[in-house]
Amino acid sequence: MSNTPAKKDTVKSIPVTNITPDKTLPLYEQGKIQVREIHGLFQKIRSYSLWGLMALFFATSWLSWGDRQAILFDLSARQFHFFGITFWPQDFFLLSGLLIIAAYGLFTITNLAGRIWCGYTCPQSSWSFVFMWIEEKTEGSRNKRIKMDKAPMSLEKFIRRGTKHVLWLLLALATGLTFIGYFSPVRELVPNLLSFNLNSWETFWVGFFTLATYLNAGWLREQVCIHMCPYARFQSVMFDQDTLIVSYDEKRGEGEKGRGPRKKTADYKTKGLGDCIDCSLCVQVCPTGIDIRDGLQYQCIGCALCIDACDSIMDKMGYEPGLVRYTTEHALEGGETHFMRPRLIGYALVLTLMCLGMVYALASRTAFELDISRDRGALYQLTPNDTVQNTYTLDMMNMTQSQLSYQVKIVGLKDLITDAPKLVVLKSNEMRSFPINIEIDPGNLTRSKTNIEFVITEQESQHEVAREETRFIAPIN
């Protein structure tokens, strides 16, 4: 028997460089981050996704569906309209399923490609980039803004700064109005705002989201991503060595003697220098102010602006692009990237099953709601006609987008007498309640409790839309 200890399986973690300063700086003591404008492939992709999402957000609230707003969360009526479908509070499980699907979708894309959600579609990033674009147009380039920050107040500085903040506030107000326009009809909300006729709740929430947008996108910006967003803190548990992340190729960039500036025609290889010329352009374009050359950092939102910046310098120097690129830890170490791996397959499988379940739930969702409740005041009543009477409340709800007629039938008892309506006409999204009495000769009953069923059939199609069971109670010796 061998005395050699068994080898333990080890999991190789992603190396993370510790760049924590000796002294923790208070909020904003490091100075305002002035982002430099850059053009490139990923900047174009991000711009297209950003403006597309902006157009979708602002335009969708104005779409109509029939005689109402296409997407409207009518809280007062407890109706949630989404184009041709109306959801009710009893459909809350669908919302829960949708949120879980969104969570697993985020897990899947994060394990596959890191924080591309943050860099390309996150509302905080999107609005921050638009606010920075406004700042670029009103105050000038990065160098001009830095000089303006250091310069004393002047008429030009006051006009430029004032114009920027006015445009910020207008965009923030449009954002607040549009968001509340999904809960209160936007075609009424905007005229009411212009005529100062908003109710107190509309005024509060429009003001709240206007202020939140102005502060988060205009002033806080990267502080929200770094200090307030929980995703930055737990993203690492979804990363592995095959996750695509924005990375600096240290072996290529540093060489034997590090990085450094040089002329385009210089023979830097003989001097032991790497491809990085230490221009710091990758730092200047970063919206969170990090240096990607320091390694993987939780502040990185994966926007890939540093890739465009570095590639532009590599192109000018005549070097091969990709010193900073989307890659994996395995690829940087010279290994092979494994896209089909257990964790990613597991996330994708669960996500697929949940999407199929949501599709089935929507497809099998009935557009009619029926509820039968017995009178709690008395189990039964004896009538002067020597019959036994039970009282019920019949609640019917038409959840379709058109007026329909329903036939009501009671089965389970013979020779019963009832005042239940035989035909009920319900308008779109209408709910009505009917008190119903059912009488029967006790001689026709064989037991004290008899199961009966209310069957509802749509008149035109003769399709049974609901069936619910209850009891008829009588005194039987």
Q: What is the pLDDT of residue 27?
A: 52
Q: What is the pLDDT of residue 320?
A: 96
* Residue 406, in any domain of the structure: yes
Residue 298 sits in the same domain as residue 384:
no
- Look up the domain containing 393 and give its range: 368-473
Q: Retrieve residue 273's tokens.
A: 């220098």
Q: Retrieve residue 188's tokens.
A: 């009424």
Buried-state track 337-348, b at ≥16 Cβ within 10 A, e below 16: eeeeeebbeebb
* H helices present in 121-154, as ranges: 123-139, 142-150
* Residue 279, in any domain of the structure: yes
* Residue 188, in any domain of the structure: no
- What 223-226 contacts at long range (C-beta under 8 Å, 24+ apart), as own/partner pairs, is 223/27, 223/28, 224/124, 225/118, 225/124, 225/125, 225/288, 225/299, 225/301, 226/288, 226/299
Distance CA 427, CA 148 (A): 63
Say whether 12 sits in a helix, a strand or coil: coil
Dihedral sign for Cα 272, 275, 280, 283, please.
Answer: negative
Q: Retrieve residue 339's tokens.
A: 């896209």
C-alpha torsion angle, residues 437, 443, 449, 450 (rounded to 10): -70
* Residue 435, in any domain of the structure: yes
Q: What is the pLDDT of residue 23?
A: 46
Q: What is the pLDDT of residue 6?
A: 45
Residue 317 sits in the same domain as residue 397:
no
Quote the distance between the C-alpha of residue 403 and its chain's center: 34
pTM of the model: 0.83
List the one residue out of 471, 477, 460, 384 whose CA is nearest residue 423: 460
Q: What is the pLDDT of residue 203?
A: 96
Residue 392 sits in the same domain as residue 466:
yes
Q: Retrieve residue 126's tokens.
A: 């999107």
Residue 384 sits in the same domain as residue 463:
yes
* H helices present in 2-64, as ranges: 41-60
* Residue 69, in any domain of the structure: no
CATH number at residue 415: 2.60.40.10
| Contact (Cβ atoms closer than 8 angstroms) between residue 33 and residue 288 | yes
Into how many domains does the chain fold?
A: 2
Where the chain has pLDDT below 50, the residues are 1-13, 19-25, 28
Residue 375 sits in the same domain as residue 297:
no
Residue 293 sits in the same domain as residue 386:
no
Residue 314 sits in the same domain as residue 395:
no
List the one residue out of 37, 206, 225 whose CA is nearest residue 133: 37
Residue 319 sits in the same domain as residue 373:
no
List the one residue out of 213, 209, 231 whose CA is nearest residue 221: 213
* Residue 49, in any domain of the structure: no
Say whether 170 sits in a helix, a strand or coil: helix
pLDDT tens across 240-291, in order?
A: 999 999 999 999 999 888 999 999 988 888 889 999 999 999 999 999 999 9
Residue 324 sits in the same domain as residue 377:
no
Q: How far is CA 343 from CA 163, 346, 361, 422, in A?
A: 50, 5, 27, 57
Residue 327 sits in the same domain as residue 372:
no
Say whether 10 sits in a helix, a strand or coil: coil
Side-chain half-sphere exposure of 240, counting CA atoms within 13 A? 16
Q: How far is CA 182 from CA 179, 187, 207, 391, in A?
A: 6, 10, 15, 42
Q: What is the pLDDT of residue 279?
A: 95
Q: Which of 332, 360, 393 is the last residue of a domain?
A: 332
Can you tell me which residue has the tokens 């709601």? 369
Q: What is the pLDDT of residue 216?
A: 97
Spatial neighbors of 153 by CB under 8 A, at least 6 apart, are: none
Q: Which of 307, 332, 357 is the last residue of a domain?
A: 332
Q: Which of 332, 354, 376 is the last residue of a domain?
A: 332
Q: What is the pLDDT of residue 84?
A: 84
Residue 382 sits in the same domain as residue 468:
yes
Q: Retrieve residue 322's tokens.
A: 């990709």
DSSP assignment letter at 11:
P
Q: Retrieve residue 247's tokens.
A: 């990375």
* Residue 285, in any domain of the structure: yes
Say whether 141 sits in a helix, a strand or coil: coil
* Residue 401, in any domain of the structure: yes
Residue 403 sits in the same domain as residue 328:
no
